[in-house]
Amino acid sequence: MKRFSHLIVLIAVPALFALAVYLQDKPVNAAGDKIAKTDEMALEAEGRDIQVIDGDTIMINGKVVDIAGMDAPELGQQCRHNGTFQDCGMSSAMQLRKYFAMAPFTVQCWPGDPERSEKEGDFPIVECGIGERDVAAAMITDGEALPIPGYSHRYDSLSTEADNAKIGIHGGDMMAPADWRAGKRLDGEDGRCLFVADGKGNYLSTLDPRFADMDTSENSKICSDEEARQKGYSYTAP
């Protein structure tokens, strides 16, 4: 009986801690709530049903959207820590996937403020929350993404704190994602292109289960989802 009680404690304590983390964050309201958030406007899904395309782009309810207010390293982007290159773009994407996979509440996403967003592309931007937890704020706090300048003063402050503590991407050298998309690389970086086109106007990331069936020749490779959109490709639901 004592063993059983200990087992319950070992399971319950981490679960309660995780629940507390999701409840303690501030509600999603990054851009000053210029757009009224209503249940009718929200995209909703269980976290496990959300497909992560890269560190700041997801598919929810069959709709591809960018998470507003943050810019994560591109999927194939590398950062240098203590002289060693690490796959920080993949790390950011996997951290975002982890947030959703472990979400104890339904994920809700509301329209963001496009006037405050400097990120190029034609995907809708959304502010996403897991309970009271702001997903973009969590990514920025954990050093997995940079804030879009001016989108949210709170995001800017969280990024400054992460930078001062040398958390995540702030712990070494990294090319700004916008510069990386423009073709710039760190000296010695093995810039990888982890999106592929299917020759039919569609593209996928390596995180998509369908990627294994795609043509991965050099001619089909694309370096970012923004590049794919600029070339007129679409990301289609499974």
Q: 209, 238 in Cβ contact below 8 A? A: yes
pLDDT higher than 70, residue 32: no
Can you tell me which residue has the tokens 């629940």? 19
Segment 178-230, tens digit of pLDDT: 999 999 999 999 878 999 988 888 899 999 988 888 777 766 789 998 899 88
pLDDT cut 90: percent of the chain above it = 55
Given a contact cutoff of 8 angstroms between Cβ atoms, the answer to whether 64 and 53 are in contact is: yes
Question: What class has domain 27-230?
Answer: mainly beta
Q: How confident is the model at residue 27 (pLDDT cuts 50, 70, 90)?
A: very low
Q: List C-alpha distances in Å: 42 to 112, 170, 219, 224.
A: 11, 33, 38, 27
Segments making up each domain of the chain, as ranges = 27-230
